[in-house]
Copies of this chain bind each other. A is one copy, B any other.
């Protein structure tokens, strides 16, 4: 009898796994159960859909169900797994359209249930005009609301990646925008001196920043939101986006007795095994190893989900793959201002009790005389004991942020500041100063060693 594979959740990790397993082992019977209407979509593209920079929501769907079926991956949408029975190797499944419920057996189970947006338990959170953004339906709802209701002002609760990207989107709708964050800065994953530049750029666009204040509640009238209440302010808003973070969607796994780890993400090893025979996990619901600290971490990003899914799929097919881990790379932009980070931030270094030295330089993206050159700030961290790089941050104009990949690669390889300084990076006036700004920062930092 063919080996049966069940995959719970049909986004990046689940579908990558399905495709790898199918490609490597034609004998598997592969079933994917997806609760929503779509599989394999680019949720990172949602801000640009809301911004109308991407016209059709279908553009965000990487592959549709029929395409997977034609490749021999049986996908059922609107079908929710209600229970995992790891002992008897079954899942209890419900078709959300017709209510039909049945048990499905498996030899291998992949849990790729993703993450859920955090919705604070506050009165008014369910009012009309209050949104989170995580899946395609959320994006459709927000754009539809913007079109139908023409709100004049909005509040974004949370000044992280999603908050910043959605602020850009709302600017395109000419909304008055306020960002509320309980931290004293936007983008808590980078240091405050670097975040200052983002705050300046946002204020220059007329965005109000209410920092260091907690969300207390909502003013709601006839079921629709009218204002956001913080510790010290009440801010009128016909649209509120709550973007205070996400959490691993692991209730199902927990109920089945599958061990959870960091931040309640499913504990997995480098092979994406949960430690329970035949049960795998990958993507936003699962842990990764942080290659700088060596400890488990939880990073919910499409890149990691794709890679873990790939590894899980290969292993399920009978192959042998392992996912080394992450270094915490992330990138975004606000209009023309690019933002990137990798490794550990100052706060994370302190939290991890790593003695570090740091340097920051403010330079140019291109040769100083080349038309279109713009400013760039690079901050680097190295461990005092070893001279090894442990983190980096970049904020600057066009062409700045993708440079973070060099630092990410250096972190993977365990390079020192001195190694970075002497790397043979590319130079020509339309691309870089003679010393790439990353290497200028490395030169600065090398003085501490």
Contacts and interface: CB of A to CB of B under 8 A. Distances in A.
A304 B44 contact: no
Contact of A434 (B303, B340, B371): B303
A310 to B, nearest CB: 8
A403 interface: yes
B425 A329 contact: yes
Interface in A362-381: 367-371
B399 A435 contact: no
Interface stretch (A26-34, A66-74, A213-221, A404-412): A404-412
Given A324-B422, A429-B48, A430-B333, A406 B404 contact: no
Nearest to A421: B307
B425 A405 contact: yes
Interface in A203-232: none
Interface string A424-443: 11111111101110000000
B323 A422 contact: yes
Contacts of A411: 424
A279 interface: no
A73 B411 CA distance: 38
Contacts of A423: 405, 408-409, 412
A334 B278 CA distance: 53
Interface in A339-354: 340, 342
Interface stretch (A52-60, A86-94, A102-110): A52-60
A326 interface: yes
A424 B327 contact: yes
Contact of A369 (B60, B329, B415): B60
B323 A434 contact: no
Contact of A427 (B301, B327, B422): B301
Contacts of A428: 44, 165, 330-333
A288 to B, nearest CB: 9
A370 B48 contact: yes
A200 to B, nearest CB: 20
Contacts of A419: 324, 412-413
A188 interface: no
A321 to B, nearest CB: 9
A54 B409 contact: no
B408 A425 contact: yes
Contacts of A42: 367, 369, 429, 434
29 contacts: A12-B434, A42-B367, A42-B434, A44-B367, A45-B370, A48-B369, A53-B370, A54-B369, A59-B368, A60-B369, A165-B428, A301-B427, A304-B424, A324-B419, A324-B422, A327-B424, A329-B425, A331-B426, A333-B428, A333-B430, A338-B431, A342-B426, A403-B405, A405-B406, A406-B406, A406-B409, A408-B423, A408-B426, A409-B413
6 nearest CB pairs, A to B: A413-B413, A331-B426, A59-B369, A409-B409, A327-B424, A329-B424
